[in-house]
Amino acid sequence: PTYTDYFFDEPAYNTHDGGYVPLEEPQTPQQALRIPPLLKPDKETATDTYYTVEAQAGETQLLPGAKTKTWGYNTTLLGQTLVFEKGKHMHIALKNSLPELTTFHWHGLNVPGPYTDGGCHAPVYPGETQHIDFTVDQPAATLWLHAHPCPSTAEQVWHGLAGMVLVTDQTEAKLPFPRNYGVDDIPLVLQDRRFHENNQWDYDADYDPDGVQGPTPMINGTINPYFDVTTQRIRLRILDGANRREWRLHFSHDLPFTQVASDGGVMPEPVQFTHLMLTCAERAEIIVDFGSVKPGETVTLYSDDVPIVRFRIHDYQREDVKLPDHLVDIPDPDVTPNTPVRKVVMSGMDEQVMIDGKKFAMQRIDAKQQVGNVELWDVTNTNEMDGGMVHPYHMHGTQFLVVSRNGHAPYPNEHGFKDTVGVNPGETVRLKVWFDKPGVFMYHCHIIEHEDGGMMAQIQAYTPEEPNKTYKLMDMDTL
């Protein structure tokens, strides 16, 4: 079937928020979509890769006239794209050239917490460099890197600290997917900003405890982008990199498209849509086939009714690729016997947001789970449908499976690994969760202002050998 709806509950869309900022089509000239360059390793051997990731401040030409002050990783805005090959050992120097503390969080990456994972307990102070290393231990996927210092994650991401991370492996490499980076395999970071005087951003002026928004779509750090399509099929690795905005995506020509991967990698089966909604931090890899479109035409990608990217179709070589009905096997491990179902409650809006009735405390461990145990987590959003909102629930340190939504089947594109799931008001989403690596990991709403506002908790994943291992946890006072 080809699904034609957004699945999520319409009354909970952000368009109904009191503070909703509608997107507006930019009136500035179209520009070529920026493609973040691939970051060159400092050194590479058959088994090891060495990278330096530098958080830096700079200026970016986003609009005609003055440049905008922006932050980025190895570039002035967003980041150069990192490629992690499964099985390889990575060594990463994390360099902070910003005027303030930051952290380097690998969203979706299966690494130990809390220091390698890079949440709030892994500060890198201005002028310092920290080193992490880990073995890439998960299937091919589109992940991302973003700043995560508490409580200024949202502001640092708004400044531009968000980069793409592509995990590659042999299984994905055998599938008939486009994978020529920048040509037919394109990252698409969806964000929104408001430009103030002199083309500058002003986070404080735009602050909203329910998530900062701006009217101008910014795609890969490009305002009003077009992309020149030179192949029949393209693969878009879409990331909702916005602080708060939901994206409701559809193409002109009612062009259907096929989702082949979710947050944690390739899905068991491809799913065809005409419409796709992403909540904050979710990723979707989609393949778009322009075979029905004539060269010379333009296909527009919209969010709601606002154009966000124009795909200019050029001459292309005809191809006739059929995706297999089955793409990959997703393991579905049995729940560990005698483990009660965990309950997580996301409540409130604005400053009232909480998890399990509490605000985040950096030194408090809220839950423990043994590494390797497979447990059910029931995540509930207690907002009222009327006036409530979808909270995108994210966990560090794991790629989980979505078991059900209020006892019903998950959405058709939720059968693969996920690390973020949008929970509707009044809904309980049941997850199957296990940790491979020990450490302290955060779980939170990924409306980033909600996370900074305390809608966050943390879990210690422990090994039987070290059930009470202690970690040095940051404190607000030590910031």
Residues that bind ligand C2O (CB under 6 A): 105, 107, 119, 146, 148, 281, 394, 396, 442, 444, 446
Please identify which residue in 287, 445, 461, 474 interacts with Cu ion, judged by CB under 5 A.
445
Nearest to 203 by CA among 239, 245, 153: 153
Closest CB 396 distance from ligand C2O, rounded Å: 6
Please identify which residue in 107, 233, 237, 444 interacts with Cu ion, judged by CB under 5 A.
107
Please identify which residue in 246, 290, 450, 462 interacts with Cu ion, judged by CB under 5 A.
450
Report how many residues bind Cu ion under the rule CB under 5 A.
Answer: 6
Closest CB 392 distance from ligand C2O, rounded Å: 10
- If contact means CB under 5 to 8 A according to the sort of partner, which of Cu ion, ligand C2O, none does residue 148 touch? ligand C2O
Q: Are 431 and 376 in contact (CB under 8 A)?
A: yes
- If contact means CB under 5 to 8 A according to the sort of partner, which of Cu ion, ligand C2O, none does residue 132 touch? none
Question: Near Cu ion by CB under 5 A, which window of 263-271, 330-338, 442-450, 468-476?
Answer: 442-450
| Between 391 and 444, CB nearer to ligand C2O | 444
| Between 275 and 394, CB nearer to ligand C2O | 394
Residue nearest to Cu ion (CB): 445
Closest CB 43 distance from ligand C2O, rounded Å: 28
Closest CB 365 distance from ligand C2O, rounded Å: 16
Residue 121 in the binding site for Cu ion (CB under 5 A):
no
What CA–CA distance (Å, rounded) separates 427 from 254?
A: 31
Residue 418 in the binding site for Cu ion (CB under 5 A):
no
Residue 245 in the binding site for Cu ion (CB under 5 A):
no
Please identify which residue in 244, 396, 405, 430 interacts with Cu ion, judged by CB under 5 A.
396
Q: Show the tokens assigned to 178.
A: 């486009």
| Between 146 and 437, CB nearer to ligand C2O | 146
What CA–CA distance (Å, rounded) separates 436 from 140?
A: 17
| Between 107 and 193, CB nearer to Cu ion | 107
Nearest to 453 by CA among 102, 207, 288, 219: 207
Q: Are 173 and 222 in contact (CB under 8 A)?
A: no
- If contact means CB under 5 to 8 A according to the sort of partner, which of Cu ion, ligand C2O, none does residue 281 touch? ligand C2O
| Between 190 and 327, CB nearer to Cu ion | 190
Closest CB 69 distance from ligand C2O, rounded Å: 23
Closest CB 456 distance from ligand C2O, rounded Å: 8
Closest CB 341 distance from ligand C2O, rounded Å: 23
| Between 86 and 391, CB nearer to Cu ion | 391
What CA–CA distance (Å, rounded) separates 147 from 101?
A: 10
| Between 233 and 391, CB nearer to Cu ion | 391
Closest CB 217 distance from ligand C2O, rounded Å: 21
Closest CB 234 distance from ligand C2O, rounded Å: 26
| Between 120 and 234, CB nearer to ligand C2O | 120
Q: What is the 3-state secondary structure (H, E, C) of the chain?
A: CEECCCCCCHHHCHHHCCCCCCCCCCCCCCEECCCCCECCCCEECCCEEEEEEEEEEEEECCCCCCCEEEEEECCCCEECEEEEECCCEEEEEEEECCCCCECCEEECCCCCCCCCCCCCCCCECCCCEEEEEEECCCCCEEEEEECCCCCCHHHHHHHCCEEEEEEECHHHHCCCCCCCECCCEEEEEEEEECCCHHHCCCCCCCCCCCCCCCCEEEECCEECEEEEECCCEEEEEEEECCCCCCEEEEEHHHCCEEEEEECCEEEEEEEEECEEEECCCCEEEEEEECCCCCCCCEEEEEECCEEEEEEEECCCCCCCCCCCCCCCCCCCCCCCCCCCCEEEEEECCHHHCEECCECCCCCCCCEEEECCCCEEEEEEECCCCCCCCCEEEEECCCCEEEEEECCECCCCCCCCCECEEEECCCEEEEEEECCCCCEEEEEEECCHHHHHCCCEEEEEEECCCCCCCCCCCCCHHHC
Please identify which residue in 95, 250, 391, 418 interacts with Cu ion, judged by CB under 5 A.
391
Residue 244 in the binding site for Cu ion (CB under 5 A):
no
| Between 105 and 415, CB nearer to ligand C2O | 105
| Between 80 and 103, CB nearer to Cu ion | 103
Beta bridge partners of 73: 55, 79
Residue 444 in the binding site for Cu ion (CB under 5 A):
no
Closest CB 225 distance from Cu ion, rounded Å: 27
Closest CB 462 distance from ligand C2O, rounded Å: 20
Which residues would be at the binding site for Cu ion (CB under 5 A)?
107, 391, 396, 445, 447, 450
